């Protein structure tokens, strides 16, 4: 552990010292058979802090049996998510030196880092002195956020970037070789699909798209191609489909295929994909993690080895998060546990009421038994998230009239923040595609996506009910 300018820094090689520490939790999230080691209640996030306790490699709980270089080295947390959202990464005075005794993590506003003399610079080059060196390679404020996310996901390492799209595109460019093959799922954020289907082919990278439940399709794709990577959201956007992560991880392990789950809709409070066998987890941290509709950010976490490969690409591409944005994310994350628990309860209540309403033809919410992936969601998630998609009985314009009649939620893209947001995917994301293309990708004109904020569920429902009365 080395220090520079009063700030704890990782040594250079590896740039981040990802010593494993035993960690943290149990309340929410799928249970793992692995129990916390007594006396090892060091926050996972303190991976570069001096008080880190080095332990033997934890057993992975990914259900794979054997090991491969893709073993995600999942680290079972000891503390509960709502505790980790507050303390993870910050570790009680980690920056407590000299003037840096503030309770909150400071915003370190710098584009570069200094060296006392040439000897120190050479020590850095040789991995004996810790420094971020230059702003594109890291920032202490951002590193604390990364360690908070590591603590929550049980990951060995995490890399923040300037947006969720930046995390996804950098990951794909880093881990899929030229001429490689990807398997992905149908219901997926439009821009990710666009990157996979229009940019990656320029590098000879092809793709098989399967239904989220199509395990046979995955098997076939794995047999017929050398698949480098499986990528899916879980739950997906906008139909909230959930993929069977342990099953997919088992199949992909046999062919050495990396499994990357976009867990934006789940959050680590509701589901930890690494504990279920995924190799990597991606977040649009813009959504629930930051939680206040005021900042864009992305995160990718997993084994030190895979994240390091993504970091090397990121250092070249340069989609770094600004220190202020990192601070906003850090501040937002402290209430992640509270917000998500509220949003889970609220969405479940609203979903049930919508399902019983005569003007609604269908509700898509993984917490409802009517959802096609309800059984998978029950196994993998401790809460079903704050987004509900539903279909209004009527056409595009009747649906738009309902949305316009709602007074409480804002009509806006995005989700996961404290303000409830409502949108008609046809209009907000797919208007340019025309009816045929929308039908092909399964976007229905009467579909509404609603993201519960932290308002009182009765107020949200009263508003929706009056809007439904008007159509």
Phi-psi group of 173: left, alpha or beta (phi > 0 → left; psi -120 to 50 → alpha; rest → beta): alpha
CA–CA separation, 340 and 384 (whole Å):
9
C-beta closer to ligand PLP: residue 262 or 279? 262
Which helix H or strand E contains 301, and what residues bound it? strand 298-302
Nearest-approach distance from CB 11 to ligand PLP, in angstroms: 31
Tokens of 230: 């499986």
Binding status of residue 273 toward ligand PLP by CB under 6 A: no
C-beta closer to ligand PLP: residue 237 or 446? 237
Among 72, 170, 237, 343, indicate the residue that binds ligand PLP (CB under 6 A).
237
Respond yes or no: is residue 134 known to be catalytic. no
Catalytic one of 262, 322, 373, 445: 262
| Best CA proximity match to 299, nearest among 264, 339, 271 | 264
Binding status of residue 389 toward ligand PLP by CB under 6 A: no
What is the total count of residues that contact ligand PLP (CB under 6 A)? 12
Q: Are 215 and 188 in contact (CB under 8 A)?
A: no
Binding status of residue 332 toward ligand PLP by CB under 6 A: no
| Best CA proximity match to 240, nearest among 428, 452, 24 | 452
Binding status of residue 447 toward ligand PLP by CB under 6 A: no
- Quick one: which segment of 55-63, 75-83, 158-166, 319-327 binds ligand PLP (CB under 6 A)? 158-166
Q: Reduced to 3 states, what is the DSSP secondary structure of residue 134?
A: strand
CA–CA separation, 78 and 448 (whole Å):
39
Respond yes or no: is residue 437 known to be catalytic. no
Catalytic one of 94, 287, 311, 444: 287
CA–CA separation, 145 and 342 (whole Å):
23
C-beta closer to ligand PLP: residue 264 or 303? 264
Respond yes or no: is residue 287 known to be catalytic. yes
Nearest-approach distance from CB 377 to ligand PLP, in angstroms: 16
C-beta closer to ligand PLP: residue 32 or 284? 284
CA–CA separation, 465 and 471 (whole Å):
10
Residues within window 288-307 making contact with ligand PLP, judged by CB under 6 A: 296, 298
Binding status of residue 238 toward ligand PLP by CB under 6 A: no
Nearest-approach distance from CB 165 to ligand PLP, in angstroms: 4
Binding status of residue 457 toward ligand PLP by CB under 6 A: no
Which helix H or strand E contains 208, and what residues bound it? strand 206-210
Residue with tokens 């303000």: 419
C-beta closer to ligand PLP: residue 4 or 284? 284
Tokens of 393: 């009985």
Q: Are 234 and 262 in contact (CB under 8 A)?
A: yes
CA–CA separation, 54 and 43 (whole Å):
12
SS (H, E, C) 422-441: EECHHHHCCHHHHHHHHHHH
Binding status of residue 235 toward ligand PLP by CB under 6 A: no
Among 21, 52, 123, 165, indicate the residue that binds ligand PLP (CB under 6 A).
165
C-beta closer to ligand PLP: residue 86 or 412? 412
Among 72, 185, 284, 382, indicate the residue that binds ligand PLP (CB under 6 A).
284
Residues of this chain that interact with ligand PLP (CB under 6 A) are: 163-165, 189, 233, 237, 262, 264, 284, 286, 296, 298
Catalytic residues: 136, 189, 262, 287
């Amino acid at each position: 552990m080395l220090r520079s300018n009063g700030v704890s820094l990782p040594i250079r090689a590896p740039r981040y010292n990802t010593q494993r520490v035993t960690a943290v939790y149990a309340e929410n999230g799928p249970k793992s058979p692995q129990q916390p080691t007594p006396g090892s209640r060091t926050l996972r996030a303190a991976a570069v802090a001096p008080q880190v306790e080095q332990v033997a490699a934890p057993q992975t709980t990914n259900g794979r049996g054997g090991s491969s270089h893709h073993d995600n080295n999942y680290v079972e947390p000891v503390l509960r998510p709502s505790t980790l959202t507050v303390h993870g990464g910050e570790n009680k005075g980690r920056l407590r030196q000299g003037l840096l005794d503030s309770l909150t993590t400071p915003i370190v506003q710098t584009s570069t880092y200094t060296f006392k003399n040439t000897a120190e610079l050479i020590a850095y080059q040789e991995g004996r002195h810790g420094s971020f060196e230059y702003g594109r390679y890291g920032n202490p404020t951002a590193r604390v956020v990364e360690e908070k996310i590591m603590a929550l996901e049980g990951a060995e390492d995490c890399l923040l970037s300037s947006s969720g799209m930046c995390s996804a595109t950098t990951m794909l460019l880093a881990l899929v070789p030229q001429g490689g093959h990807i398997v992905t799922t149908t219901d997926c954020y439009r821009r990710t699909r666009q990157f996979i289907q229009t940019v990656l082919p320029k590098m000879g990278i092809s793709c098989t798209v399967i239904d989220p439940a199509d395990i046979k399709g995955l098997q076939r794709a794995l047999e017929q191609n050398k698949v480098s990577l499986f990528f899916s959201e879980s739950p997906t956007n906008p139909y909230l489909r959930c993929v069977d992560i342990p099953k997919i991880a088992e199949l992909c392990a046999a062919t050495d295929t990396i499994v990357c789950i976009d867990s934006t809709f789940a959050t680590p409070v509701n589901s930890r994909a690494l504990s279920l066998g995924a190799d990597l987890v991606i977040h649009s941290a813009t959504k629930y993690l930051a939680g206040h509709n005021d900042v864009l950010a992305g995160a990718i976490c997993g084994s030190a080895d895979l994240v390091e490969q993504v970091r090397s690409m990121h250092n070249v591409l340069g989609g770094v998060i600004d220190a202020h944005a990192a601070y906003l994310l850090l501040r937002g994350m402290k209430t992640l546990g509270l917000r998500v628990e509220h949003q889970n309860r609220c969405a479940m209540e609203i979903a049930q009421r919508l399902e019983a309403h005569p003007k609604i033809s269908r509700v898509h919410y993984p917490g409802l038994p009517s959802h096609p992936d309800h059984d998978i969601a029950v196994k993998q998630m401790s809460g079903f998230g704050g987004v509900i998609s539903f279909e209004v009985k009527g056409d595009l314009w009747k649906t738009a009239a309902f949305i316009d009649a709602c007074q409480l939620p804002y009509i806006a893209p995005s989700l996961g923040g404290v303000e409830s947001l409502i949108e008609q995917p046809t209009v907000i994301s797919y208007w340019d595609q025309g009816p045929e293309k929308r039908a092909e990708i399964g976007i229905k004109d009467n579909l509404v996506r609603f993201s519960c904020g932290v308002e009182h569920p009765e107020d949200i429902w009263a508003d929706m009910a009056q809007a439904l009365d008007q159509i």
